[in-house]
Structure 1
Amino acid sequence: MDFKGHLDYRHDRSSFSSSTGILVTSLGTPEAPTAFAVRRFLAEFLSDPRVVEMSRPLWWFILHSIVLPIRPFPVARLYQSIWQPEGSPLLIFARRVGQSLQNELNHRGQPMKVSLGMRYGSPSITQALEELRQAGVERLLVFPLYPQYSGSTTGSTFDAIAKVLSTWRWIPELRMITHYHDHPGYLQALAESIRRSWQDIGRGERLLFSFHGLPKRYLLAGDPYHCFCHKTARLVADQLGLEEGSWQVAFQSRFGREEWLKPYADHLLREWAKTGVKRVDVVCPGFAVDCLETLEEMAQRNRELFLRAGGEEYRYISALNDNPSHICALADLIEQHTQGWANADSKESIMEAAKMSYQRAIAFGANN
């Protein structure tokens, strides 16, 4: 057995900066606003058994005979309505969050390597983990940008990471942030964002907290997502001093015919408009960065629905994205969850320890 290659790989690196790495993850996005790219993305996304909990043979038939031949074309048109010159908004904002977070940690004297990976699409979790391994990371904090835990998001992210790490000979010490729906910094950032919108463009009669939906049977099976969403909204409403009846939680982005978490955001907005509510504000606290579901569904499509039903003013409040208060809250979470992990040793001390380990291995006959 030859330990020399391991010594070189792990420790003899001019680029070495920290043995603690942060894997920031998000859902992902197609690489282009085309039917072909969307089909490839949906095939990966909807094949995840955490996302669609159904008999696999039955779902495979539905997916490949009905969903994938039809759905990519209308979805591609939706992406085209929000696509930016630099690419997909989700990827643009997620990269900004990752870079801002790296800068904030450096400013705090926390020499941790931040890498961004998407659960579906590119850059993949596999690519991000390999980037961290090449950086010599020995302690890994996984940070999915999903404030409210769900098995279909955070749980699925864990599955993907475990699959990659199962192929590694030496896996890093591992921790994971599974939720932060009630973290004070996150709640404060949300409240500040809403107040800032009200100061800039005025306040509506109602505030809608819209979260991504899930099939109701996921809740009945024990998924805590529904409860976490309601707690986030209630705590933010408390910070804003909102009266009962001036705000409500709803769920968006349902897919298929089965019952999902209610009330549905589009139905509620139509009902409000028809019953005389003229001005509404909409915020989506479950989305750390803006994406198709916020920029197209909530900022465009549901705005048109509300106005057609009799409403007069509809204001979408942007996701937190790379707002400084958001980045500060995320950095606070990282510091909280890396407590007990000493700052990375100096390169010299690591090299010396590696050299001694290698010499001991030789003494015990590792090359024999």
Structure 2
Amino acid sequence: MVTAPDTARDLATPMPSGGDRVAVLLMGYGEVESYEDFAHYNEQALNLLTAKFAPVPTWVYPPLARLLALFDFHEWNHQHDHFISPHNAIFERQRAGIERCLQEHWGHEVQVFKAFNFCAPFLPHQVLNEIKQQGFDRILIYPLLVVDSIFTSGIAIEQVNHALANLADGSDHWVKGQRYIPSFYDQPAYIALLAKLVEERIATDLAVAHLPSQIGIVLMNHGCPHQAKGFTTGIQESQRLYDLVREQLMHRYPLISVGWLNHDTPLIEWTQPNATLAAKNLINLGATAIVFMPIGFATENHETLLDVEHIVQMLRRQRPDVTYVQMACVNDHPDFLSMVATWAHPQIADLLSEQARVVNLHRAAQPSHESHDHSHYSHGHTHENGHPHHH
């Protein structure tokens, strides 16, 4: 058993050859740490996210990104006293903690690299180039995002594929093994941790002054547009996540509602009820305390902090008699980091044990008629119209 160093990656430590190692590519959104980066960040988000559901011409993106940057600057700098998102720092703690857990089992055969969808110098193509330069040829793609959708893991894979295409050299691709870990919205360990955190917070902050039936719980999911040009939106998976957590809590706390954190866009139908309406509904049913718990987010960000803070402030002005509790995401909770590492073990074992697969890039351009079909074999099955059934 080898214990990982406290540093993010100890590059001075001798490493095994590339074929004996796995690079875990931990992927998240990332958030700006310098206000000067707002416009670039927004343009990236418009290209990768908004384009999937909003009919906005691409030439509008640069000026729109600069306009949105002005609103971001006003909100973060003036309304929230020079706010800097803790997302990237938390994500680094998640990366380092997951790497420690993995290296306790695998030693330095495994390293964890972080990549952000929107933030240099950790854009996927930059990090994959680093992975390539360090001699890795087996990659585990691991979006640390609760729900699979075109807005989460979809854009992560899109960016990875673009990067791998641009980093190819020669006829054979340098990547010899690849695995992927999907979202964890229905993983029992994650569901149990969310319910446990809510129960612990109620016990410490609310139980002495509020009956269980008077404690409203808003379980907050990432808002989704109902249409995304045919892509999977993540609504069904997010609803399932809410249902599973609610089942863990409802026998003690009957006032529970999903609350979607939407990015309301003109002409776009978003998930309902939003978190504000969900809280109002619970108050109307007699809740004297409201707990806001983000379940659809693994890492703290401006939505779980600033957006929820806006909601709480507005509700407090309208109903000052109600107690409001704003909870944090799972972030770098030791139980969460441990389970994330546990989910990776089978895929890492496969990557280390399987024979390297060489992908010849030139063969991808061969005409499709060169592929085999069943008509060349003894089966001779055909469709009713007489055409051979192809693979």
Q: Is the 2:177–2:351 Cα contact (8 Å) retained in structure 1?
A: no
SS in 1 for 2:227: helix
Distance 1:52 1:290, change over 3 A: same
Q: TM-score, normalised by structure 2?
A: 0.76
Is 2:198 the counterpart of 1:194? Answer: yes
Higher relative contact order (CA 8 A, sep 6+): 1
How big is each residue's C-alpha offset from its partner over 1:297-343, in whole Å with a ceiling of 9 and x where there is no partner?
Answer: 11x11111221221521111110111001101101111133342336
- The aligned runs of 1:63-74 (5 Å cut-off) are 63-65=61-63, 67-74=64-71
How big is each residue's C-alpha offset from its partner over 1:136-167, in whole Å with a ceiling of 9 and x where there is no partner?
Answer: 22211111111111112211110100011112
SS in 2 for 1:322: coil
Deviation at 1:243, TM superposition (A): 5.9
SS in 1 for 2:141: strand
Where do 5+ consecutive residues of structure 1 fail to align? Answer: 1-12, 346-368
SS in 2 for 1:152: coil
Is 2:271 the counterpart of 1:261? Answer: yes
1:179 aligned residue (183, 190, 199):
183
In structure 1, the residue matched to 2:95 is 98
In structure 2, the residue matched to 1:333 is 343
Where do 5+ consecutive residues of structure 2 fail to align? Answer: 1-11, 208-213, 356-391
Deviation at 1:294, TM superposition (A): 0.5
Q: Is the 1:214–1:261 Cα contact (8 Å) retained in structure 2?
A: yes
Distance 1:42 1:180, change over 3 A: same
Distance 1:233 1:265, change over 3 A: same
Q: Is the 1:20–1:344 Cα contact (8 Å) retained in structure 2?
A: no
The whole-number CA distance in structure 2 between the counterparts of 1:228 and 1:172 is: 32
In structure 1, the residue matched to 2:5 is none
Letter in 1 for 2:27: T
In structure 1, the residue matched to 2:315 is 306
SS in 2 for 1:28: coil
- The aligned runs of 1:1-368 (5 Å cut-off) are 15-17=14-16, 19-32=21-34, 34=35, 36-48=36-48, 51-55=51-55, 58-65=56-63, 67-80=64-77, 81=80, 88-110=85-107, 111-122=109-120, 123-167=122-166, 168-169=168-169, 170-202=174-206, 205-218=215-228, 221=230, 223=232, 225-242=234-251, 245-257=254-266, 258-273=268-283, 276-298=286-308, 300-310=309-319, 312-342=322-352
Distance 1:69 1:225, change over 3 A: same
Q: Is the 1:113–1:132 Cα contact (8 Å) retained in structure 2?
A: no
How big is each residue's C-alpha offset from its partner over 1:226-275, in whole Å with a ceiling of 9 and x where there is no partner?
Answer: 11112112212223354685211121132311211111112332444456
The whole-number CA distance in structure 1 between the counterparts of 2:199 and 2:81 is: 26
Distance 1:284 1:127, change over 3 A: same
Q: TM-score, normalised by structure 1?
A: 0.80
SS in 2 for 1:238: helix
SS in 2 for 1:140: strand
Q: Is the 1:273–1:309 Cα contact (8 Å) retained in structure 2?
A: no
The whole-number CA distance in structure 2 between the counterparts of 1:159 and 1:72 is: 25
Count of residue correspondences:
325
Letter in 2 for 1:21: A
Q: Is the 1:211–1:284 Cα contact (8 Å) retained in structure 2?
A: yes
Higher alpha-carbon deviation: 132-141 or 315-324: 132-141
Q: Aligned residues: percent identity? A: 17
Deviation at 1:344, TM superposition (A): 11
In structure 2, the residue matched to 1:349 is none
Letter in 1 for 2:205: I
SS in 1 for 2:29: strand
